Amino acid sequence: MKLSPYEIERLMGIEAYLTGTDGIGGRLRDSPSDFAVEEVPAFKTGETGGYLVARLTKENWETHHLIRDLSRQLGISDDRIGLAGTKDKRAITTQLISIYGVTEDDLKKITLPRIRLTPVGRSSRPLVLGDLEGNNFDIRISGVAMAEPEIRARLDSITGEISATGGVPNFFGYQRFGIRRPITHLVGEKLIRGDLEGAAMDYIARSFPDENPENIEARDYVFRTRDFKKGLDMYALNLRYERTMMHRLIERPGDYAGAFRSLPGTLMKMFVSAYQSYLFNRMLSQRLLLGMSITTPQEGDTVCFNGPDGKPDVSRVEQVTKKNRPDINYLYKRKRVTLVLPLVGKSTRIDLLDEVSRKVLDDAKVTPDNFEIPLMPELSSHGIWRAMVLPVSPSLDVEGGSVRARFFLTSGSYATTVLREYMKANPRCME
């Protein structure tokens, strides 16, 4: 275990590394082609159905922005476009999308740059988040400033530590929160506390030091004055969601719920989800810092049972007690249970939480009831469980001053969670 020295990680609840070996440094995404992601779908298509399913390859596109621009060119609402997962912006990514009520000929209308849409079939239902097995990653780490033998030695040592554990800590990665402007979970925290105005103002106008000076000036002005009309003149056009919310607040002053509802549904729901992710990261970090196992069940921990495919089935959980611990250990040795932590929601049972997790919630002054949000019921969350460990077996090739990393990750996990163990670089070199 090694402490993270980076404040930006601690803001996301990520406080430690699993591995104690020094990293190789370096940086990601010198160009989008250095970060390739290909979705492995779990979605069947046919020849009929109201939804056209297409393979989308995009380069340097933020997913929410692309969906909005696609819907505009097709003349449809963006809620008619479905996908199984959001993908990195500064990357070349390939995934399936579903579009309701369009034909293959309609796709020929699309003139957006740096995308390719290829029809693959039709379906009677849309793609939804989670309709994938996972993602294959092919990533180049550039600018590694050490001799090849030292690079190989460190990579081998880190891989050995990861293999001994069975994977890396299953942190929610930087993409969940943002690096230049890690605001998403802070907005989510205010939403669960019923402070819609504070949440809206944070999203629209809370500035961070790594933003460009013009954006900082504009945000600080609006934060001080609530002058949304002048804000529209000051805000760059690419701050489209902040501008959308300000338009709504000009039309209907004080309607902060309406301002959030003017955003795409997938983005609106990310805020509460990001705060749940932050709390999960804090719980997992505390286990690492306290020297607790993230793989071997101990009394007071919670496990889920693995399905026939060996994957964790987080709908079936049980707390480890003095009485059942021998049985749980028997199942653990046969890889039939997995340690889990909660993404806390209104249905989370506090009695199933270990002491460390309960302390994280107590310190944050959060209870499951906070995730019932009367002012915006659509943002309420029941909660779910998530595995503590992310299994991974990367293939690593040293190529001069760079490293090519290839690996598969199950859905809902993050490549930076793996790469940070090898690089231990400033997160700003990994965005």
Q: Which two tokens stand for residue 359?
A: 């302390």
Pairing mode, strands 395-399 and 402-410: antiparallel
What's the half-sphere exposure (Cβ side, CA atoms, 13 Å) at 184?
25
DSSP assignments along 239-261, one per residue: -HHHHHHHHHHHHSTT-HHHHHH
Give the 3-state secondary structure of residue 310: coil
Q: How far apart are the first and last CA of the chain?
A: 23
Q: What's the angle, vertex CA 239, arms to CA 233 and CA 245, rounded to 5?
A: 80
Give the 3-state secondary structure of residue 48: coil
Give the 3-state secondary structure of residue 230: helix
Catalytic residue annotation = 88
Q: Which of 6, 412, 352 is nearest to 176 (CA)?
A: 412
Q: Are 300 and 30 in contact (CB under 8 A)?
A: no
| Alpha carbon distance 119, 157 (integer Å) | 44
